[in-house]
Amino acid sequence: MDKIKNLSLKKTILLYLCVSLICSFLLSALVGGIASEVQQQIWWKYVDQEQYIQAEAGENSNYTVRIPRPSASRMSRWDHQVSELCDFLETYSVLLISLAGSGGAVFLFYRNKLKPPIEELGRASKMIGENNLDFQVDYTNKDEMGQLCQEFERMRRQLVLNNQKLWRTIEEEKALRSAVSHDLRSPLSVLKGYLEMLEEFRKAGILDQEKEGKMLEASRKQVQRMDQFVDMMAKLNSLEQRVLKAGPVIAKELEQEIRQAFTALGRDKQLDFHISENTGDFLGDREVILEVAENLLSNACRYAEKVIEIDLSVTSRELKIRVKDDGEGFQEDKEELTKAFYQQNIKDSLKHTGLGMYISRLYCEKHGGSLLLENDQAGGAVVTAIFRKLSH
């Protein structure tokens, strides 16, 4: 039964038509035979039966005896009508029954192969039109309509992901506006205060070189802070628009570069590096992968007490970098940590702008993967960056 359910539409309609035609021919032969027999019985009443029996007794290979058709005037009205009906059935039963069988085959084909997926797709389209994506396209046949339903379900899942990304983008834009308001207004307020103090000191005639130098130095730091924030905003914009470049990524070469980065970042820490799997050349953006690894390593160096463990897994389809430290682990909401400008934990950022983990997550997602944060049962934080293979 499953084989028939999973037949293609073309094969299914051909099967239905063939079965219906075979049944139609058999049924029409039966109907024709019955009609002929009934007609013979009617005609038998209007012949000289003794003469017919004598003629039939002398029947041989040279001639056969058939009951002759009586004239309409000799037959009763009822017998004449029945005889005409039998003629009609003998002549047109094949055509009529074949047409009826073909119509039945088309009806069954529509009811069994077309109606269920069409109704399912109609239901799904209506729910999407109502902005409701909390459903599944449930049609399991593996024919063309089943493939169409699978594509529709894939489209629905993609819409869900797009909505989630859109919602995340809206949340990050809110965070951006908040960060702009805070990180620009604060130094501007400080600068405004220093200018007012300078003006008051100048009017009072108590401004000396030492006070002036301290205020100018403090003002310069506030300007640097604003300049740094503007640079990070420009970097964030370039990150989101960056186009990935596919190229071969070799596990040993990546290990060497990560070790070099650790030499500069974690001089007082111990690095335990493992390559747990190396079964093929991975195709990805090497610079992006290395930048994520450096971000995670830098974050681990700030948290770790003594030891940082890195596990690298490379296959032809996927690359994983797992970074574990022996610190206290994540104390904050793990989803919040990967948002832009997250400031609850100042160590989890690049130069305290709240972009470190966000950049790592953004790069992983652009690479078709994800960034996973968890706490190890033995203690410490574990961050796993997953990258999917890029196409050329």
265-296 exposure pattern, b = at least 16 Cβ within 10 A, e = fewer = bbeebebeeeeeeeeeebbbbbebbbbbbbbb
The most confident of the ranges 117-121, 172-176, 185-189, 333-337 is 117-121
Residue with tokens 């070189």: 209
The pLDDT of residue 351: 43
Single out the residue in 133, 155, 181 at which a domain terminates. 133
pLDDT in tens, 254-299: 999 998 888 877 668 888 999 988 877 889 999 999 989 988 998 8
Helix pair 356-366, 209-241: axis angle to 10 deg? 20
Beta strands, E only, the chain: 247-249, 270-278, 282-284, 307-314, 318-325, 370-375, 381-388
Mean pLDDT, the chain, integer? 82
pLDDT in tens, 219-245: 887 787 777 777 777 776 677 677 888
Same domain, 121 and 155: no
pLDDT band at 310, cuts 50/70/90? very high
Can you tell me the distance from the alpha carbon of 277 to that of 370, in angstroms, rounded to the nearest whole number?
A: 19
Can you tell me the distance from the alpha carbon of 112 to that of 50, in angstroms, rounded to the nearest whole number?
A: 59
Note down the domain range covering 209.
145-241
Q: What is the CATH number of the domain that holds 288?
A: 3.30.565.10
| Structure tokens given for 64 | 């056969």
Whether 140 is in a domain gets the answer no
Whether 280 is in a domain gets the answer yes
Assess whether pLDDT exceeds 50 at residue 388: yes
pTM of the model: 0.53
Chain centroid to Cα 17, Å, comes to: 37
pLDDT in tens, 28-82: 999 999 998 898 888 888 877 777 777 666 666 666 667 777 888 888 889 889 8
The pLDDT of residue 143: 86
Same domain, 173 and 126: no
Domain total of the chain: 3
Same domain, 264 and 378: yes
Backbone angles phi, psi at 125, to 5 degrees: -65, -40
Same domain, 14 and 95: yes
| Structure tokens given for 61 | 């290979």
Assess whether pLDDT exceeds 60 at residue 345: no
Whether 357 is in a domain gets the answer yes
Same domain, 98 and 120: yes
Nearest residue to 261 via CA among 294, 303, 228, 227: 294
pLDDT in tens, 176-213: 666 666 666 767 777 788 778 777 877 777 767 777 77
Nearest residue to 246 via CA among 293, 277, 278, 282: 282
